[in-house]
Structure 1
Amino acid sequence: MPTKAETANESAQTPDPTTCDVAILGSGLAGSITGAILARHGIDVVLIDAGQHPRFAVGESQNPQLVEWLHILADRYDVPEIAHMLDIKAITEHMGPHHGRKQSFGFVNHREDQEPDPREATMFVIPKMLTEAVHLYRQDTDSYYLNVAAKYGCTIRQNWLATDLDLDEDGVTVTGRNGEVFRARYLIDASGFRSPLAQKLDLREKPSRLKHHARSLFTHYIGIKPYDDVCNYPETLRPPPESPFHGGTLHHLIERGWFWIIPFDNYKDSKNPACSVGLTFDERLYPKPDDMTPDEEFQHYLDKYPAVKRQFEGASRIREWVSTPDRIQYSSKQTVGHRWCLMSHAAGFVDPLYSRGLSNTFEVVDALVWRLLDALREDDFDEKRFAYVETLEQGLLDHNDKIVNSSYIAFSHFRLWNAVFRVWACFTTPATMRQIMARQKFALDGDDRHFKEMEKAPYPGLWWPDSHAFKHLFELTVETCERYEAGEIDGDKAADIVFEAIRDCESVNTPFGWKGPEDQRFFRATTPTMMKFMWWANTSGPKEMRDLGRSFLTGVVRQGLRGRKVS
């Protein structure tokens, strides 16, 4: 046993902890924006990161729901800087000309050693009436929001490695490698896969319950050619000139895998020649070779797909590869506990397909922050208060796993892929309208209940969580793809089942063409198309669409009248 002198000497060398309300591990977009919101509302926040900014990060592609979650966070919590990421003009003005536009989701099917069939391509062009999404140059966005968090009062620690977490009834003690200690009333771990909290509490599922399998390698290049310039498609089979492949995120689909092309140079004011490039594929079909560098492995797969390879002629890599040796999917047994939360990618991860990572993240931020503000004010951290956050995080993970796994299964059969693609895309618009509707109501009366009512949906984590019709179509699609994978039915039969279900689903809108012929592959909602959609939603659609459409339209009219009165 140590002597009294040794104990006294040890105590003298241990610094007194610095107290705070909330400690956040990880200063990426999730951690920094959460810290900024809390600090904006008077909360004492310490934002800790084992690395430093600026730095490379994935999660570079927005989707419509992400943009709307950011808009909600900016308005609901009065942090206007969050709105600087809402569209390409705003982000260029506030963070510099280094970001690309996200006009569309484009998908092209490829077979080994063959030119792609131009009839085997699909595209969903994001309706401008909803949003104009962005390709995020993350080293700039993440640095910017770290500074926003500091501006609102967060204490920042970079290159600060947390070596120990001690959780008890009254709070959490975070000890750093440098000996500095913080004592917090609540801990948010937004650090990602290597979550110190997940390791401390042994929260990872082993094995993961997720069905999807993939590994990944990715980096940045310069000199990538637009696919529109190298694809050799006849004019009649190309996407509309105003919505080229290079105008958004391009997904080159292969059997159980895909290349991504995310350009930062496709906006007229961008000065950034870089392009994000990656390959994500099933590690069971494509095991990582022991005798290849990442450069050699990537080139090995480029050589198999001639049209993709042409995009890379003369291009140069400008960053080291990130190459994962094993499966990148993981999940957690629990994401919320007494005085702690695993946030989004610290809780689990599926795949970058469909750009849902940041959208899921900020839906979780929205659900957590108002509860945490109340808990801190009332000094009541009962786990029941945060139960919905757990339900939401697990639901987001499970539903994303199902649609991604179904998509990977369908990549090898274009008709089935075309059907799965429509199931994913056709509910993106009503899902985003649902968010806009709540924000419009809040803008009119400032009542936070409009956002809280969104959480009463029956299917948390599904991108349109209120719709029984969508849930049925979604689950039938998942089941059908799994039957095809198991060999119970062939690809054409599986496609027939899903297409018939789409046609039979009253909530699938007709103006966009989702129920149209199979040879319709490019879906672009112009303003006239959106007006037809609104007319359909308000007059001919089923009750859930009529309710959504009428409420959305009423909000637009009221906001217009209010603006006229103000002016």
Structure 2
Amino acid sequence: MAQESSYDVAVLGAGFAGSALAAALARGGTRVLLLDPGGHPRFSTEEIVTPYTATLLRTMAVWHRVPELAWLADAPSASRRVSRSTGVGRTLGFLYHHHGRAPAAADVLQITSPAAIPAEPTLYRQDTDSFLFHAAVRYGADARQHVRLAEVRIETSGVSLTAVDGRRFHAGFVVDAGGGGEAFAAGAGLVDGEELPAHSWSLHTHLVGAGSMREATGSTRAFGAPGRWDDGPCYHVFDGGYLWRVPFGNHRRSTSLVTGVGLTVDATRYPFPSGASPGDVLRDLIEPYPMIRAQLGAARVVQPWTVVTHRPPAGTTLAGPRWCALPGREPSGFFLSRGLTDQLAAAGLLAVLLRGRGAGGLDPAGVATAKATLASLRAGGNTLAEMVLAGTRSPLLWKAVLRVWEVGLLFGTLQAQGALRRLRRGDDRPARALAGSPDAGSPFPGDAGFRRLLDRAVGLCADGAADPSAAGERLFVLLRDAEVVPDVFGFTDPRKRYYHPTPPDLARLALWTLRSAPPGTGAVVRDGLRAVLGASARPSTGGAKP
């Protein structure tokens, strides 16, 4: 029998989140085993870093003294210190398409980050995941690639792992970060009965030769947009689904020739054609939309297609005293790479809960926190997917759904920025409360006013199938009546197309927090504004030496 090796924590899956968790734990002295059934480099989905995701990366970097995580939070440092194949996400575009014609100017939306703040990167996952994997090894994780598990036994005293080739490992705690497979599911009791019906399915690959928005429209700033459409990801939305493009070669330092392309559609309206190839499915779905066809018609596939079916989450528990499963990517439909964000949030929470516990696993309070937080993350991803798919039914409903999530993501990011600011000053209480929030799945966790807005918006979307435009009108009324929504950036105006925050806008937002905002909301947003304005005064760390 093969000799057994012992560790405090075993992480199954050496992707982005698994490697980040392993690096954070190993940096703090935890004996970490990092197992993966495959190897690096490898192709992966979910390549967009939102401002909230960037704040999670910076928070983990500060909290656990792993600066490599912060290098992936802004485009200049990612390009200089990680990979020149990473792209820039200065803008985020949304264009609503109708059959047979290009989008109308009234049906486009663009969000542009302030020039004073470094843009987020787009992640070329072959390089970024490999980089984090090697960072985890550098900090002391014992990494084993190409190890497939035959059995995972979870007992009160610890966890026993047996590989297909007979190697055995023992750990006090095990985390499935996507590499545990059926062996982990069986060991943790996660094998459920009948699957819930799928609400959507997705395709994803990398292409070479994809056309740009400039080539498709004849202008870098088509429709009068303040930012260049090719300076970041773009979502092309149509009735029943959306296609996204993630650029990597969109800055001078980039060496990449590829574009990430994905498609998510409503499975109840467009069941995946039996026996069809992913390439044929994509071609048939984009055929009615001339602008999309102009960009992708001549492109060539350079990576295997990823095909994922998205289902509502089952009620299975995701944590116990000796184990935890990070949220999967299935519920979220890949919108804004929400699955990656949730996995990173869960990894950050576990890094805190397991810190200094050696092989002891989670205490009862830690188990309760992990269960509540992970369940909320998973439910929140499903809520996002269902609202977004409902929103695709009409341009007006799409605009209204985006406004709800824009408000939440703006304030949620400011909330996280405020917690990070205090963490840098030695106070980890706000960051700890945010990481373990039972409302973590909300884009603005813990805010009662936003939770009411979100719950009512979910109901309107669910009831709006018969008349989606009327549902959009009612949702805009709801936005105008909500105390938590400021009349600053035009969130309540369906005619507003571009969001390009300026110093006067931020000043008006600060006044709103003092004069009109609910007291709790105002205090959180003000604290976040202080953090953002302070960060914008500091130069990017992209050129600094390790």
- Calculate the TM-score normalised by the size of structure 1: 0.89
CA distance in 1, matches of 2:460, 2:175: 39
The one of 124, 133, 136 equivalent to 1:146 is: 133
Q: Could you say what secondary structure the match of 1:188 adopts?
A: strand
1:28 aligned residue (4, 10, 15): 15
Q: Within the alignment, does 1:44 sit opposite 2:31 as a pair?
A: yes
Q: Does the alignment pair 1:97 with 2:80?
A: no
Q: How does 1:349-428 map to 2 (within 5 A)?
A: 349-376=331-358, 379=360, 381-428=362-409
Correspondence list, 1:472-483, <5 A = 472-483=452-463
Partner residue of 2:208? 222
What is the distance in 2 between the residues matched to 1:375 and 1:284?
46
Alignment of 1:59-78 (within 5 A): 59-78=46-65
1:237 aligns with 2:223: yes
**Are 2:198 and 2:267, in contact at CA under 8 Å, matched by a contact in 1?**
no
- Relative to structure 1, the CA distance from residue 338 to residue 221 in structure 2 (aligned partners, 3 Å threshold; closer, same or farther) is same
What's the % identity of the aligned pairs?
Answer: 26
SS at structure 1 position matched to 2:355? helix
* Contact 2:204 2:263 (C-alpha < 8 Å) held by counterparts: yes
Which 10-residue stretch deviates more, 60-69 or 312-321? 312-321
Cα offsets for 1:130-172 (capped at 9, x unmatched): 6621110000001111110110111111111111111111100
Residue 450 of structure 1 pairs with residue 430 of structure 2 = yes
Summarize the Cα distance change of 1:519–1:193 in structure 2 as closer, same or farther, 3 Å threshold: farther
1:401-442 Cα deviation digits (max 9, x unpaired): 123212211212111111111001122221111111111112
SS at match of 2:34: strand
d(CA) in 1 for partners of 2:42, 2:279: 21
Question: Is contact 2:57–2:73 with CA below 8 Å preserved after alignment?
Answer: yes
1:293 aligns with 2:277: yes
Equivalent residues of 2:8, 2:172 under 8 A apart: yes
| Structure 1 segments unaligned to the other structure (5+ residues) | 1-13
- Tell me if structure 2 keeps the 8 A contact 1:203–1:332: no
Q: 1:383-413: per-residue Cα shift (whole Å, max 9, x none)? A: 4322112111111121221232122112121
Q: Deviations over 1:97-146 (max 9, x none)?
A: 11111123211112233333232122222345666211100000011111
C-alpha deviations, 1:252-290, integer Å up to 9, x for none? 112221111111011221111110011111223222223
1:267 aligns with one of 211, 232, 251: 251
Of 479, 482, 502, 1:505 maps to: 482
1:216-269 C-alpha deviation (Å, 9 max, x unpaired): 2221111211123313689783322xx122122111112221111111011221
Secondary structure of residue in 1 paired with 2:105: coil
Distance 1:28 1:152, change over 3 A: same
Partner Cα distance (1:172, 1:123) in 2: 48
CA contact (8 A) 1:208 1:330 kept: no
Aligned residues of 1:252 and 1:308 also touching (Cα < 8 A) = yes
C-alpha deviation, 1:381, in angstroms: 3.4
Counterpart amino acid of 1:155? D
1:276 equivalenced with 2:256 (yes/no): no
Query: In 2, distance between residues paired with 1:280 and 1:554?
Result: 37
Rounded to whole Å, the distance in 1 between the matches of 2:490 and 2:440 is: 27
Contact in 2 for aligned 1:135/1:262 (Cα 8 Å): yes
Residues 65, 431 of structure 1: 8 Å contact kept: yes
Distance in 2 between residues matched to 1:131 and 1:212, nearest whole Å: 38
Contact map agreement 2:34 2:142 (CA 8 A) in 1: yes
Any idea what the Cα deviations from partners look like across 1:366-385, whole Å, max 9, x if unmatched? Answer: 211111124337x3633432
Q: Distance in 2 between matches of 1:21 and 1:302?
A: 50
Distance in 1 (CA, whole Å) between partners of 2:46 and 2:272 is: 23
| Shift of residue 556, structure 1, vs aligned partner | 7.1
The one-letter amino acid paired with 1:225 is G
Shift of residue 175, structure 1, vs aligned partner:
0.7
| Counterpart secondary structure, 2:378 | helix
Which digits, 9 at most, give the CA deviation of each residue in 1:500-543, with x for residues without a partner?
Answer: 11111122122211123x21122221333223323332444331
Is 2:537 aligned against 1:537?
A: no
CA distance in 1, matches of 2:87, 2:222: 27
In 2, Cα distance between the equivalents of 1:60 and 1:355? 6
| 1:205–1:332 CA contact under 8 A, matched in 2 | no
Q: Give the distance between the partners of 1:555 and 1:328, measured in 2 at CA.
A: 38
Q: Verify the 8 A CA contact 1:507 1:544 in the aligned structure 2.
A: no
- Do 2:345 and 2:435's aligned partners in 1 also have CA atoms closer than 8 Å? no
SS of residue in 2 equivalent to 1:375: coil
Aligned equivalents of 1:305 and 1:238: distance in 2? Answer: 21
Cα distance in 1 for partners of 2:61, 2:91 equals 24
The amino acid that maps onto 1:294 is: P
Between 1:257-266 and 1:298-307, the stretch displaced more is: 298-307
Is 1:526 the counterpart of 2:508? The answer is: no
Q: Distance in 2 between matches of 1:96 and 1:235?
A: 28
How many positions carry a matched residue from both structures?
A: 539
Indicate the RMSD between aligned Cα atoms, in angstroms. Answer: 2.6
Counterparts of 1:31 and 1:90, CA distance in 2: 22
* Alpha-carbon spacing, 1:375–1:306, altered in 2? closer, same or farther (3 Å): same
Aligned-partner Cα distance in 2 for 1:499–1:410: 13
8 Å contact kept, 1:212–1:401? no
Q: Residue 376 of structure 1 aligns to a residue in which SS? A: coil
Measured at CA, do residues 112 and 219 of structure 1 come closer, stay the same or move farther in structure 2, by a change above 3 Å?
same
User: TM-score of the superposition, structure 2-length normalised?
Assistant: 0.92
Aligned to 1:125: 112
Deviation at 1:555, TM superposition (A): 5.5
- Which amino acid counterpart does residue 316 of structure 1 have in structure 2? R
Q: Does 1:87 align with 2:68?
A: no
Deviations 1:37-90 (A, max 9, x none): 111111111100000000000111111111000000000111111111010110
Other structure's SS at 1:123 match: strand
One of 269, 278, 287 as aligned partner of 1:303: 287
The whole-number CA distance in structure 1 between the counterparts of 2:173 and 2:303 is 37
Query: In the superposition, relative to structure 1, how do residues 207 and 254 fare at CA in structure 2: closer, same or farther (>3 Å)?
Result: farther
Asked whether the 8 Å contact 2:90–2:112 carries over to 1, the reply is yes
- In 2, the alpha carbon distance for the partners of 1:234 and 1:128 equals 17
Write the distance in 2 (CA, Å) between the matches of 1:249 and 1:279: 13
| Matches of 1:416 and 1:54, distance apart in 2 | 40
Q: Which secondary structure state, in structure 2, belongs to the residue aligned with residue 464 of structure 1? A: coil
Partner-residue secondary structure (3-state), 1:427: helix
Alpha carbons of structure 1 residues 35 and 195: separation in structure 2 relative to 1, 3 Å: farther
Which residue of structure 1 lines up, in the alignment, with residue 543 of structure 2? Answer: none
Contact 2:112 2:499 (8 Å CA) reproduced: yes
Deviation at 1:181, TM superposition (A): 0.6
Amino acid at match of 1:156: A
